[in-house]
Amino acid sequence: MPQISIISSSIRKGRKSHNVSLYFQHYLLSNNLATTEIIDLKEYGFPIFEDTLKTMLNPSEKVLEFAHKVKSSDGIIIVTPEYNGGYPASLKNAIDLLYDEWRHKPIGIVSVSTGPFGGSQALVSLQFTLWKMKAWTMPEMFSVPNVQNAYDEKGNATDKTVTDKLAAVFIKELLWCIAADKAKI
């Protein structure tokens, strides 16, 4: 069974996108599709970026742990909110720490906003950054508009039937990418 890590990017007090991370964790586990854990950037509390792991003289345990989790995951779901048309500094801060660890990593992007457009601008700019890191961002995306009404604090979707249907398509594609990566084609 593949290991899919979910990066929860918002470190904001009262954050809503974390509820979507919880939803995907439940979805993967309850459907027995993958082993999974949430890599919660709020828990890591990385200082503002100064150096990449590769050139750090004394990397912290937290940086080493983050790098290990990214590298050892078969696939990654990144859940990002949209702030002023982009993805949050907390996420860029963490992405820039690593380089080789992202290479060829199958990644699905989930974008979130409280508005009607589901963080579509954050999604595009995040995809561009990940391409620069040579990650494999898959074409299937998962956008969440009006997140405040769509998920509760425990990650339950308000409209479970429709949300599960959309998640099934998204996760199926990610699993395909992971299998293709493992087949070394």
- The smaller minimum CB distance to ligand FMN, of residues 67 and 122, is found at 122
**What are the CB-based long-range contacts (under 8 Å, 24+) for 170-174?**
170/108, 170/110, 170/140, 170/141, 170/142, 171/24, 171/27, 171/28, 171/33, 171/108, 173/108, 173/138, 173/139, 173/140, 174/4, 174/75, 174/77, 174/106, 174/108, 174/138, 174/140
Binding string, 88-127, against ligand FMN, x = CB under 6 A?
------------------------xxxx-x-x--------
CA distance 150 to 163: 9
**One of 84, 104, 139, 154 touching ligand FMN (CB under 6 A):** 84
Q: How far is the CB of 135 from ligand FMN (least distance, A)?
A: 22
Which residues on neighbouring strands pair with residue 111, listed in sequence order? 80, 143
- Give backbone dihedrals phi and psi of 2, rounded to 5 degrees, phi first: -70, 155
**Do 75 and 106 form a contact (C-beta atoms < 8 A)?**
yes
Query: Segment 156-185, which members bind ligand FMN (CB under 6 A)?
Result: none
Give the sign of the dihedral formed by CA 61, CA 62, CA 66, CA 69.
positive
State which residue has the least CB distance to ligand FMN.
81
Q: How far is the CB of 10 from ligand FMN (least distance, A)?
A: 3
Stretch that binds ligand FMN, among 15-23, 27-35, 63-71, 92-100 (CB under 6 A): 15-23
Q: How far is the CB of 83 from ligand FMN (least distance, A)?
A: 4
Q: How far is the CB of 120 from ligand FMN (least distance, A)?
A: 8
- The smaller minimum CB distance to ligand FMN, of residues 6 and 178, is found at 6
- The reply on whether position 44 binds ligand FMN by CB under 6 A is no
Q: How far is the CB of 181 from ligand FMN (least distance, A)?
A: 29
Under the rule (CB under 6 A), what is the footprint of ligand FMN?
A: 10, 12, 15-18, 81-85, 112-115, 117, 119, 147
